[in-house]
Amino acid sequence: DVQMTQSPSNLAASPGESVSINCKASKSISKYLAWYQQKPGKANKLLIYSGSTLQSGTPSRFSGSGSGTDFTLTIRNLEPEDFGLYYCQQHNEYPPTFGSGTKLEIK
């Protein structure tokens, strides 16, 4: 199985700032990396797939980059609603596997 290592585990930032979350795969997954947002009381949301393709409805301040084993989710000009948990997931092969999550908190 492909192991996904996500960093940092916790991140604190202020509205208006930019942040980056990293995800590293234990072997090459080509471009097939997805990012999800999880917030209490709301359904999990797919933000980005195939490394950099924004899911319909994802604001343009979100961007994804990377290929092979190293990927990054960048959120520019943070909005209050962006705070929550973020997970990466490889969708190159079965079984699909997730990173351990990054908690983005308000500073």
Partner 1 sequence: EVQLVETGGGLVQPGRSLKLSCVASGFTFNNYWMSWTRQAPGKGLEWVASITNSGGSTYYPDSVKGRFTISRDNAQNTLYLQMNSLRSEDTATYYCTRGGSPFAYWGQGTLVTVSS
What residues line the site for partner 1 (CB under 8 A)? Answer: 1, 34, 36, 43-46, 49, 55, 87, 89, 91, 94-101
CB of 77 to partner 1, least distance (A): 25
- Closest among 11, 9, 101, 16 to 61, alpha carbons compared: 16
- The single-letter DSSP state of residue 88 is E
CB of 26 to partner 1, least distance (A): 16
Minimum CB distance to partner 1 smaller for 6 or for 69: 6
Question: What CA–CA distance (Å, rounded) separates 35 from 82?
Answer: 13
